[in-house]
Amino acid sequence: MAREVLSIGQVRIHSGSATREEAMKEAADILEAVGSVTSAYFDAMQQREQTVSTYMGMELAIPHGTNETKEAILESALSVVRYDGGVDWGGEPVVFVVGIAGKGDEHLEILSKIAILFSDEDEVAKLKAVATAEELFALVSEAGV
């Protein structure tokens, strides 16, 4: 990939909870703020969620758009938000919401790295234990995301 897909400004930690829609909106807003997607991307995320849940297990959801809405993606990027109070993701408990926008096929490589990071219970425990967005960013970055 030509540039980093994640910077410290795209990582947040909230002590409270959020609804699934609020969490998706925040993920999309972060991506839009860095110029990765257009304002249409939130709608694309909602369309995807209506088709198939983006809940991945291990308290992780990865909201993203549909193939039909690829034009809303300007460049690849991620947003990483931890909700310590949790998010009810269609009946599944979610703590981490990783918004993804992948230009072309870049999303496959990004998804692979996220899947590897979140497949390890010890790594997820570390991600949940850090106190600051900077520490969370460092752990995610160390994983090559």
What positions carry a catalytic annotation? 64
- The one-character DSSP state at 72 is G
Measured distance CA(120)–CA(13) in Å, rounded: 20
| 3-state SS assignment for residue 23 | helix
According to DSSP, the residues that pair with 73 across neighbouring strands are 37
β-strands 11-14, 17-18: how paired? unpaired
Query: What are phi and psi for residue 52, nearest 5 degrees?
Result: -150, 140
